[in-house]
């Protein structure tokens, strides 16, 4: 019998999804450990890499994806850091939902419980898109748990989503076909860019076989909250971003987030983590090492 909050539409779809997830992990260029940790909201899947004595870094992926999105970043980031790539509860990953995340408070409690289960008091947070929203949400309410913050094209957060985003995404979620999914993800990429074939297949299988059980709607945080942000923060956005205006987002980040370093990534759009991985890795590591 299908679980009450299973993300999978069918047993066959689950098998296909898990098969592609495992195939995608063949691209993982460093040794890793796959863990399931218990929380109030269910079992959270985590991929752990890097030296055991390395400073902890938590990576949170974008919406309708999972930790395999970091395959082109994990080698560089795991050289010195102990990386924990988390499959967001209720999204298209290997976490098992017992109770959906419905509020900001749920998100913070869930992440805090994951950290406690992993034995982490603090960590660097690196979040892409929805993962950026989750990371910023935690940093605003529990700053003692976030050492430094890296926001990679965070969805909503500081700038409202345009109606075109909804018009592009929701029709495909309602009637997903391979052709429609790939057309949508082409829109998410800069001109001439393409995802690695296995990551592209991960996207297709997720959208075809999963129904999200993540009930939190990302929103723009209030100005007084953003102005209270304590962790040192890097904000990156692709110059060809389609989810919102890149230059406007950078200006708002510089105006609203105390001491933030904000800049664009050339020849890249919303998926710049995969489009320009070497440049993104360099900027993250430079910021963590020198604050530049």
Please identify every residue annotated as catalytic. 129, 241, 270
Q: How far apart are CA 204 and CA 276, in angstroms?
A: 21
Q: What angle do CA 37, 38, 42 make, to 5 degrees?
A: 115
288: number of CA atoms within 13 Å, CB side?
Answer: 23
Q: By C-alpha distance, which of 84, 104, 101 is closest to 37?
A: 84
CA 93 – CA 248 distance, rounded (Å) = 32
Cβ-based neighbours of 29, under 8 Å, separated by 6 or more? 71, 74, 75
Q: Are 65 and 92 in contact (CB under 8 A)?
A: yes
Neighbours of 113 (CB within 10 A): 16
Give the integer Cα–Cα distance in Å for 254 and 258: 8
Please give the structure tokens belonging to residue 283: 């900027």
In whole angstroms, give the CA distance from residue 166 to residue 170. 6
How far apart are alpha carbons 74 and 84 in whole angstroms?
Answer: 10
Instruction: State the CB neighbour count (10 A cutoff) for residue 225.
Output: 14
Question: CB of 135 within 8 A of CB of 152?
Answer: no
């Amino acid at each position: 019998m299908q679980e009450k909050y299973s993300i999978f539409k069918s047993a066959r779809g689950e098998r296909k999804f898990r098969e592609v997830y495992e195939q995608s992990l063949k691209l993982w260029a460093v040794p890793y450990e796959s863990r399931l940790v218990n929380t109030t909201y269910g079992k959270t899947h985590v991929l752990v890499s890097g030296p055991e004595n390395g400073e902890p870094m938590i990576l949170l992926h974008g919406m309708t994806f999972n930790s395999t999105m970091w395959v082109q970043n994990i080698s560089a980031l795991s050289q010195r850091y102990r990386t924990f790539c988390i499959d967001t509860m209720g999204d298209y990953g290997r976490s098992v939902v017992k109770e959906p995340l419905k509020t900001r408070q749920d998100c913070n409690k869930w992440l805090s419980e994951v950290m406690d289960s992993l034995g982490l008091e603090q960590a660097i947070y690196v979040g892409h898109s929805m993962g950026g929203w989750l990371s910023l949400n935690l940093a605003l309410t529990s700053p003692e748990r976030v050492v430094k913050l890296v926001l990679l094209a965070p969805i909503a957060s500081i700038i409202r989503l345009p109606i075109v985003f909804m018009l592009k995404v929701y029709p495909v979620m309602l009637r997903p076909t391979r052709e429609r999914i790939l057309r949508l993800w082409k829109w998410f990429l800069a001109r001439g860019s393409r995802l690695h074939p296995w990551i592209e297949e991960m996207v297709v299988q997720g959208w075809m076989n999963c129904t999200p059980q993540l009930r939190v709607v990302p929103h723009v945080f209030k100005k007084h909250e953003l102005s209270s942000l304590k962790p040192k923060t890097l904000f990156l956005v692709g110059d060809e971003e389609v989810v919102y205006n890149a230059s406007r987002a950078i200006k708002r980040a510089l105006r609203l987030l105390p001491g933030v370093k904000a800049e664009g990534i050339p020849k890249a759009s919303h998926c710049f983590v995969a489009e320009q991985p070497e440049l993104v890795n360099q900027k993250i590591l430079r910021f963590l090492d020198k604050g530049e």
